[in-house]
Structures are given as C-alpha cells and as structure tokens.
C-alpha cells in the first residue's frame, strides 16, 4: 500500500478516536448535568442516536446535535435506560452479596453473573434498536431478546468487544475514563446496524422465496 493510502487510513483512525473521545465527554457531561439519575437515560439514548448518525455518514456539529436530541429524548431515554440500569444495579448487588458467603453461595453467585451477562447482551441490541427503529418502549425488550437469541454469533462478538474494552480500561484507567464509554457506544452501534441490515436482508429473502 502506498504511503498516501496509509496516511488516509491513519487519519481516519485518528478521526474515529477523536470522535469517540468527544462522544464520551458529551455522554458523561450531560449525565452529570442531569443529576446522574435523571441524566443517564436521555444522555445514553442521545449518544446512541448520534453514533447512529455518524455510522450512517451524516455530518453534524456534536454539541448542538447532542443538546437538541437530549431535550427531545429526555422522557423516552429515561423510560428505556433507567430500567436497564436498575436491573444491572440489582444483579451486581446480588453478585457481591452472594460473594461474601464464599463457596456455599457459588450457584447463586453464578446465576447472578449469568443474568448480568444476559442483560448486557440484550442491552447491547436494545439501545441501538431504540434509535434505529420506530418502536414503542414496551416493544424493545422482547425484540432485543429475540435478536440476541436468534443471533448467537453476533451476541458473542458484542460480548467480546465489551469485555475487551472493559479489560483495556482496567489496565489503563485514564484511557477508560476518556474513551471507553464513547468508544463502546460507537462500536456497539456500528456493529448492530450491520447485524440489523443482515437480518433484514435474510428476512427479505425468506419472504421472496
């Protein structure tokens, strides 16, 4: 490959990293501005919405776009995200609680961990789905659960990416704070948009057969 080709690829990679840092900062900033509990829902859904636009090749100014979408998605973002956060907090609490009992509670601890992983995989489909499809809030969980079960290979890819980001963040905490959230949201959205497109193409072929 020519030096010009490498330069373009390097520029594109650096641009994606800068975007992920920017998205991460906006997500954290608006979560804090919303008082965390009231901010995390709309900030998360807004971040996924902008990640979808970015993946679709749209050009926009990040801060005005984030602010406008945050206001528009305030109620829906809370309805979509807060139940997921609450369930995750409960499962993490259960895991830590059973861990204090040692081997005698290993089954309960493992069950909590499996449930937490399942919740994470379903959420990895649900959040991109919430900004990609025109679905009611109550329709998201069953549809995301169905996709997670119907596409085990894709679910493993999402799980691997999430675990990899978590591992790197644990080794380099500063990098995790600056980049991990935005990087995961963008990667998660980019992957799911392709999974959704593949699923729609497969269903279309079945419908025509």
Average pLDDT (158-166) is 96
Percent of residues, the chain, with pLDDT higher than 70: 96
Is the pLDDT at 3 greater than 70? The verdict is no
Asked if residue 54 lies in contact with residue 193, where contact means CB atoms within 8 angstroms, the answer is: no
Write the pLDDT tens digit of every residue in 96-149: 999 998 888 889 999 999 999 999 999 999 999 999 999 999 999 999 999 999
Tell me what pLDDT residue 9 has: 79
Write the pLDDT tens digit of every residue in 22-71: 999 999 999 999 999 999 999 999 999 999 999 999 999 999 999 999 99
Write the pLDDT tens digit of every residue in 82-97: 999 999 999 999 999 9
Q: Which of 122, 175, 131 is nearest to 149 (CA)?
A: 122
Tell me what pLDDT residue 149 has: 94
Tell me what pLDDT residue 104 has: 84
Q: How far apart are CA 49 and CA 131, in angstroms?
A: 5
Asked if residue 39 lies in contact with residue 32, where contact means CB atoms within 8 angstroms, the answer is: yes
Angle, vertex CA 134, rays to CA 127 and CA 79, nearest 5: 50
């Amino acid at each position: 490959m020519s030096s010009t080709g490498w330069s373009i690829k390097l520029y594109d990679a650096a641009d994606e990293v800068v975007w992920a840092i920017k998205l991460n900062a906006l997500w954290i900033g608006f979560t804090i501005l919303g008082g965390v509990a009231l901010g995390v829902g709309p900030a998360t859904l807004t971040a996924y919405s902008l990640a979808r636009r970015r993946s679709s090749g749209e050009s926009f100014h990040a801060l005005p776009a984030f602010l406008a979408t945050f206001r528009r998605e305030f109620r829906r973002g809370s309805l979509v995200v807060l139940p997921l956060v609450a369930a995750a907090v409960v499962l993490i609490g259960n895991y830590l609680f059973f861990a204090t009992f040692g081997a005698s509670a290993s089954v309960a601890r493992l069950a909590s961990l499996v449930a937490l992983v399942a919740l994470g995989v379903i959420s990895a489909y649900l959040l991109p789905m919430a900004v990609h499809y025109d679905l009611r809030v109550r329709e998201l969980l069953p549809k995301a659960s169905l996709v997670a079960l119907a596409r085990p290979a894709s679910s493993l890819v999402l799980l691997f990416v999430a675990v990899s980001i978590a591992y790197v963040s644990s080794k380099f905490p500063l990098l995790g704070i600056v980049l991990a959230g935005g990087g995961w949201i963008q990667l998660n959205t980019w992957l799911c948009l392709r999974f959704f497109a593949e699923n729609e193409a497969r269903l279309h072929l079945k419908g025509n057969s």
